[in-house]
Amino acid sequence: MSQLKDRLRADLTTAIKGRDEVRSSTLRMALTAITNAEVAGKVQRELSDEEVVDVLASEAKKRREAAIAFDDGGRSEMAAKERAESAVLADYLPEQLSVEEISRIVTEAVERTGAAGEGMKAMGKVMGAVQPQVKGRADGAAVAAEVRRQLG
């Protein structure tokens, strides 16, 4: 049984009792997404904590993208709601890496893979080396942008 999933359930109960609408609706949505991931595929299975973090990171990313889309469409109240949900999900995700930390990890990976002189051809190799280190702790687009900057 996933400890993170148990924590989500316990926090949902607390949020409902405390009448915290945003937190309770967000946690319900997160638990539904986790359940959907568990029953996807041919065999139902229990997700590990790492897989639960992946689901939560995906849901948080959806909220960030939706907030940007709502801002672009002039729907600031909906954007604020999406940002509030994203903030609730962030409580359950590992601490995000700073730009400096991402840059340092990418620099180390470029040196380790020997990709320094290869240019953009080496992007896949470098991303493959960086991804396990930043999984769940950094946005993939930000990591890819830093790899492009250092290789380009």
* Tens-digit pLDDT string for the chain (152 aa): 689 999 999 999 999 999 999 999 999 999 999 999 999 988 889 988 888 988 998 999 899 999 999 999 999 999 999 999 999 999 998 888 888 888 898 888 888 887 777 777 888 888 888 888 888 788 888 888 888 888 87
Q: Residues 74, 117: one domain?
A: no
Q: What pLDDT does 39 receive?
A: 93
Q: Domain of 116?
A: 99-151
Q: Residues 110, 86: one domain?
A: no
Q: What pLDDT does 96 receive?
A: 84
Q: Residues 136, 80: one domain?
A: no
Under a CB-based contact definition with an 8 Å cutoff, are residues 119 and 103 in contact? no
Q: Residues 59, 131: one domain?
A: no
Domain end position, chosen among 90, 115, 142:
90
Instruction: Give CA–CA dist 123/12, Å, rounded.
Output: 41
Q: Is 119 exposed, middle or buried (0-12, 13-18, 19+ CB in 10 A)?
A: exposed
Q: What pLDDT does 1 receive?
A: 62
Q: Residues 44, 79: one domain?
A: yes
Q: Residues 24, 41: one domain?
A: yes
Question: What's the whole-model pTM score?
Answer: 0.78
CA distances from 122 to 4, 142, 146 (A): 36, 17, 13
What is the per-residue pLDDT across 12-40, written as a single tens digit (0 to 9) for each? Answer: 999 999 999 999 999 999 999 999 999 99
Q: Residues 12, 86: one domain?
A: yes
Scanning the chain, the segments in alpha helix (DSSP H) are: 3-17, 21-39, 49-72, 76-90, 99-113, 123-134, 140-151
The angle subtended at Cα 101 by Cα 97 and Cα 105, nearest 5°, is 110
Q: Residues 56, 107: one domain?
A: no
Q: Residues 72, 115: one domain?
A: no
Q: Residues 17, 81: one domain?
A: yes
Domain end position, chosen among 37, 67, 90:
90
Domain count across the chain: 2
Counting other chains too, the contacts that 79-84 makes at CB distance below 8 Å and 24 or more residues apart are 81/22, 84/22, 84/26
Q: What pLDDT does 7 receive?
A: 94
Which CATH number belongs to the domain containing residue 131 in this structure? 1.10.10.410
Q: What pLDDT does 49 receive?
A: 87
Q: Residues 103, 85: one domain?
A: no
Which CATH number belongs to the domain containing residue 54 in this structure? 1.10.1510.10
What number of other Cβ atoms are within 10 A of residue 143's Cβ? 24
Token pair listed for 114: 């020997």
